Amino acid sequence: MTKQRANWSPYDNNGGSCVAIAGADYCVIAADTRMSTGYNILSREYSKITKLADKCLMASSGFQADVKALQKHLAARHLIYQHQHNKQMSCPAMGQLLSNTLYYKRFFPYYSFNVLGGLDSEGKGCVYTYDAVGSYERVGYSSQGSGSTLIMPFLDNQLKSPSPLLLPAQDAVTPLSETEAVDLVKTVFASATERDIYTGDKLEIVVVNAEGIRREYMDLRKD
């Protein structure tokens, strides 16, 4: 007698891909704007990027209902922090908060695959990458979502330092300039769109640097 399984799942996957790249004095966070379910498109203009603090943004792909709930939770916690400490949360602090929030629901997780991007307290770019239950790491670049398997190897090839066995381990940030990093992100998404059915429509690119936050859009294939 086979074990009976649930006919209903509380989760759905709305697809999409996110990328973040950290530079010496900037951070690029990008995500496509397509929200889908199964073989259907729900929206061609749904933003997956949200501002959590002054110089800290989060891009999340996965189940957007859980993502929305997570964003609201973090925004509320940030407000409380501002009241208690009279300052904005730094990116590393927000990184830790996000990890703890995700692990809190270890046994009924947020189906949300996140990359956190922003500037740390010294003004250097910082990127944190997460899994669904809160395991996180500070890295120089990362991608999550349905296209991540297509994007990550290319970013590794272009940005990763050669094996640390030969050279001393390099700093987490990439030596690319801001325009080069944005160009890389556009190329990477155009390529991922060709081969991943859940990625496409439009690309939203957000650049954080000392001057502030800048938003840019680019068209992607709509098929």
Q: For binding to another protein (CB under 8 A), which residues are involved?
A: 15, 36, 38-41, 146, 150, 157-158, 162-163, 165-166, 180, 183-184, 186-187, 189-190, 193-198, 218-223
Give the shortest CB-15-to-another protein separation in angstroms: 8
The order of strands in the sheet holding 141-145 is 141-145, 17-22, 26-32, 202-209, 212-219
- Pick between residue 62 and residue 95 the one whose CB is nearest to another protein: 62
Give the shortest CB-133-to-another protein separation in angstroms: 21
Give the shortest CB-157-to-another protein separation in angstroms: 6
Q: Which residue, 13, 11, 19, 44, is CA-closest to 148? A: 19
Rounded to whole angstroms, how far apart are CA atoms 155 and 188?
Answer: 8
Contact 127, 20 (CB under 8 A): yes
Rounded to whole angstroms, how far apart are CA atoms 83 and 101?
Answer: 20
Give the shortest CB-128-to-another protein separation in angstroms: 25
Q: How far from 21 is each of 35, 168, 195, CA to CA, in Å?
A: 23, 21, 22
The order of strands in the sheet holding 56-62 is 49-53, 56-62, 112-119, 125-130, 136-139
- Pick between residue 166 and residue 169 the one whose CB is nearest to another protein: 166
Rounded to whole angstroms, how far apart are CA atoms 220 and 93?
Answer: 34
- Pick between residue 72 and residue 195 the one whose CB is nearest to another protein: 195
Contacts of 134 (CB under 8 A, 6+ apart): 98, 99, 100, 101, 102, 103, 106
- Pick between residue 135 and residue 156 the one whose CB is nearest to another protein: 156
Rounded to whole angstroms, how far apart are CA atoms 140 and 199?
Answer: 23
Give the shortest CB-162-to-another protein separation in angstroms: 5
- Pick between residue 122 and residue 223 the one whose CB is nearest to another protein: 223
Give the shortest CB-30-to-another protein separation in angstroms: 12
- Pick between residue 162 and residue 212 the one whose CB is nearest to another protein: 162
